[in-house]
């Protein structure tokens, strides 16, 4: 009985520390807005880097020809070929090939990583459909999706600021990313030009905008999390004199590094951060994204076990960081069987804790729920923060509160497994959007899932920034 009380005590404490009332979420929204302003005002003005992308024209469907893209995801690597015919089509003709990134390349030397990427691309190019649809005398062009913070000098050049999501190819930091790729391509004898270096969120925005011109922002919630949006150039105070024909530029927020004292932080978050390879970094991401959610849950279960012996002896697996991956955590969370069979199986198979009683299994499900709900609601607050910054949150403007009639249709492109495949995460996110915005405003805000946007969008951006335009 006392042991059981301990378990319940750990749960209650967790619930309290993860509290995300709508009042608290509104404070997070406000903090996001303030940090966005600060990041735009000066270099280093905020934990939000608010990086310039030099993308000022988003694809609109008039693009033609065949373009390639390389999409270095957090866990997967994709090679794509996209055929564009000059008119918008609801289905974009493309081929895609996926392969996992060998673990040793994620923490090795840049040359090995780029050799691997270039070889994969070469194989893909040579295997099929080769530029037959390309005009003669035209070099093949490529968009390179690189989902890490980059300081761009132009749409096709930029240096790596830092790695995130478990990557650590140390000699790459500070290097010009497209130049490294270009060199590897040339060495492999591949006559191709890197026309655009694209953050994955920017690719997602590009594809979203191609299909729906009301798309103003994009969010990715996968291994990591980040967002970008279309900003007025005159609001980018830190680079005065920036001129674009459209008067706008896509800004890559790098919101994974957002921080605010209003974020509900637990001792588990603090420990996870301290033991991570990048302590004090990517705080928002560590509460939201697929790389971390499972590990937060594992830490809570470990605490419950240490405080009671209801789970039996401590298994070494449970003490090992990242033993519980987010897909397994989601599977426990979404276990619909009355006796929580799947929860029992995962606890036994993955964490080596056998014979967990049903009532404790129920607590484990509740832990998953608390951690995921917090993540989804914080992501929603982040999205509203962007809407607030660009005046699409229905907030107060001069002359009073906007009526719902005046609220423009606002589309946010969204990608990443957490949103697209984790139903409860998605539901919690929508619920929070409704709560924060109110239903009258929220009904004008549409989250649209794009598929392979990070890659296809990069090919589209290579097209809209082609040197043959």
Name the site residues for ligand ADP (rule: CB under 6 A): 73-76, 222-223, 290-291, 325-327, 330, 416-418, 421-422
Measure the CA–CA gap between 367 and 29, rounded to whole angstroms: 25
Is residue 125 within a helix (H) or strand (E), and if so which, with residue range? helix 110-127
In the complex, what is the shortest distance from the CB of residue 99 to ligand ADP, in angstroms, rounded to a whole number? 13
Torsion of CA 275, 327, 260, 35, to 10 degrees: 120
In the complex, what is the shortest distance from the CB of residue 416 to ligand ADP, in angstroms, rounded to a whole number? 4
Residues 6+ apart with CB under 8 A from 244: 56, 233
In the complex, what is the shortest distance from the CB of residue 192 to ligand ADP, in angstroms, rounded to a whole number? 23
Is residue 198 within a helix (H) or strand (E), and if so which, with residue range? strand 192-198
Strands 445-449 and 215-221: unpaired
Task: State which residue, 73 or 208, has the beta carbon closest to ligand ADP.
Answer: 73
Task: State which residue, 283 or 416, has the beta carbon closest to ligand ADP.
Answer: 416
Task: State which residue, 236 or 324, has the beta carbon closest to ligand ADP.
Answer: 324
The token duo for 184 is 């590897």
Measured at the CA of 13, the angle between CA 23 and CA 30, to 5 degrees, comes to 20
In the complex, what is the shortest distance from the CB of residue 417 to ligand ADP, in angstroms, rounded to a whole number? 4
Place of tokens 């790098």: 254
Measure the CA–CA gap between 197 and 71, rounded to whole angstroms: 10
In the complex, what is the shortest distance from the CB of residue 271 to ligand ADP, in angstroms, rounded to a whole number? 19
Residue 180 CA: distances (Å) to CA of 15, 27, 112, 144, 186: 47, 42, 11, 11, 10
Task: State which residue, 416 or 457, has the beta carbon closest to ligand ADP.
Answer: 416
In the complex, what is the shortest distance from the CB of residue 333 to ligand ADP, in angstroms, rounded to a whole number? 9
Place of tokens 């406000």: 30
Measured from each CB, the residue nearest to ligand ADP is 222
Closest CA to 434 of 393, 375, 389, 373: 393
In the complex, what is the shortest distance from the CB of residue 431 to ligand ADP, in angstroms, rounded to a whole number? 18
Residues 6+ apart with CB under 8 A from 215: 58, 205, 208, 209, 411, 412, 413, 448
Task: State which residue, 258 or 311, has the beta carbon closest to ligand ADP.
Answer: 258
In the complex, what is the shortest distance from the CB of residue 418 to ligand ADP, in angstroms, rounded to a whole number? 5
List 97's β-bridge partners, or say none.
79
Task: State which residue, 215 or 223, has the beta carbon closest to ligand ADP.
Answer: 223
Would you tell me the crossing angle of helices 423-437 and 22-41 to the nearest 10 degrees? 80
Measure the CA–CA gap between 21 and 321, rounded to whole angstroms: 30
In the complex, what is the shortest distance from the CB of residue 55 to ligand ADP, in angstroms, rounded to a whole number? 20
Task: State which residue, 158 or 416, has the beta carbon closest to ligand ADP.
Answer: 416
Task: State which residue, 74 or 385, has the beta carbon closest to ligand ADP.
Answer: 74
Task: State which residue, 264 or 290, has the beta carbon closest to ligand ADP.
Answer: 290
In the complex, what is the shortest distance from the CB of residue 380 to ligand ADP, in angstroms, rounded to a whole number? 17
Dmax (CA) for the chain in angstroms is 79
Would you say the C-alpha torsion 208, 212, 213, 218 has a positive or negative sign?
negative
Task: State which residue, 143 or 394, has the beta carbon closest to ligand ADP.
Answer: 143
Torsion of CA 348, 349, 351, 355, to 10 degrees: 0
């Amino acid at each position: 009985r006392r042991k059981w009380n301990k378990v319940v005590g750990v749960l209650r404490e967790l619930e309290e520390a993860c509290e995300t009332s709508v009042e608290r979420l509104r404070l997070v929204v406000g903090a996001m807005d303030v940090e966005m302003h600060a990041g735009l005002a000066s270099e280093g003005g905020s934990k939000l880097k608010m990086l310039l992308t030099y993308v000022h024209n988003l694809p609109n469907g008039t693009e033609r020809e065949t373009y390639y893209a390389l999409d270095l995801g957090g866990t997967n690597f994709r090679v794509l070929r996209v055929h564009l015919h000059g008119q918008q089509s609801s289905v974009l003709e493309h081929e895609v090939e996926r392969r996992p990134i060998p673990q040793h390349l994620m923490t090795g030397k840049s040359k090995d990583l780029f050799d691997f990427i270039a070889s994969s691309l070469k194989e893909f190019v040579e295997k099929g459909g080769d530029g037959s649809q390309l005009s003669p005398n035209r070099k093949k062009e490529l968009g390179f999706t690189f989902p890490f913070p980059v300081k761009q000098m132009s749409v096709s050049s930029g240096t790596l600021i830092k790695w995130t999501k478990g990557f650590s190819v140390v000699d790459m930091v500070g290097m010009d990313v497209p130049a490294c790729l270009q060199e590897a391509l040339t060495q492999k004898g591949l006559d191709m030009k890197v026309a655009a270096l694209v953050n994955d969120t920017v690719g997602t925005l590009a594809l979203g905008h191609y299909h729906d011109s009301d798309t103003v922002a994009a969010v990715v919630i996968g291994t990591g999390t980040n967002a970008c949006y279309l900003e007025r150039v005159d609001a980018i105070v830190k680079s005065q004199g920036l001129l674009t024909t459209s008067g706008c530029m896509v800004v890559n927020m790098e919101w994974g590094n957002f921080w605010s004292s209003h974020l509900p932080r637990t001792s588990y978050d603090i420990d996870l951060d301290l033991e991570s390879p990048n302590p004090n970094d990517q705080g928002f991401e560590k509460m939201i994204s697929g790389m971390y959610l499972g590990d937060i849950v594992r830490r809570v279960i470990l605490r419950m076990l240490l405080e009671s012996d209801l789970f039996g002896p401590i298994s070494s697996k449970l003490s090992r960081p990242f033993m519980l991956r987010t897909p397994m955590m989601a599977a426990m969370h979404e276990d619909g069987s009355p006796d929580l069979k799947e929860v029992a199986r995962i606890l036994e198979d993955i964490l080596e804790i056998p014979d967990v009683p049903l009532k404790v299994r129920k607590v484990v499900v509740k832990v998953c729920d608390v951690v995921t709900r917090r993540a989804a609601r914080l992501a929603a607050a982040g999205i509203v923060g962007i809407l607030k910054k660009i005046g699409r949150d229905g907030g107060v403007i001069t002359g009073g509160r906007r009526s719902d009639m005046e609220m423009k249709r606002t589309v946010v492109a969204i990608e990443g497994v957490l949103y697209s495949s984790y139903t409860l995460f998605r539901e919690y996110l929508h619920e929070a959007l409704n709560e924060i915005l109110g239903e009258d405003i929220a009904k004008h805000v549409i989250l649209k899932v794009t598929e392979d946007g990070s890659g296809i969008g990069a090919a589209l951006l290579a097209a809209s920034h082609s040197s043959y335009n």
